[in-house]
């Protein structure tokens, strides 16, 4: 479901985007979750930021505060999403 939300779901048509975003933020910070869940959650929240620009700052803060000992896949995706949020090319 997270992969679908992060890649192809039309987020603007969801009746309550906030529920999805809240769940994704919880997944991102929960170090007990599988890495794939966390990185797809980052992508889903990034796509939600395109619909609701006010979420950008919250996502930036969450990604910047990820522990330095997070898995490389999580840190790499966070770095890429932060670049997209700042308008820089990958």
pLDDT tens track for 17-36:
889 899 999 999 999 999 99
Other Cβ atoms less than 10 A from the Cβ of 65: the count is 9
pLDDT tens track for 60-82:
999 999 999 999 999 999 999 99
User: What mean pLDDT is predicted for residues 35-39?
Assistant: 95
Residue indicated by tokens 């700042």: 86
What is the C-alpha to C-alpha distance for residues 22 and 29, in angstroms, rounded to an integer? Answer: 11
């Amino acid at each position: 479901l997270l992969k679908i939300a992060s890649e192809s779901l039309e987020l603007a048509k969801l009746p309550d985007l906030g529920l999805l975003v809240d769940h994704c933020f919880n997944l991102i910070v929960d170090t007990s979750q599988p890495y794939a869940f966390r990185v797809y959650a980052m992508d889903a929240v990034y796509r939600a930021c395109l619909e609701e620009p006010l979420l950008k700052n919250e996502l930036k803060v969450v990604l910047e505060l990820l522990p330095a000992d997070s898995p490389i896949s999580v840190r790499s995706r966070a770095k890429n999403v932060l670049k997209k949020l700042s308008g820089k090319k990958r």
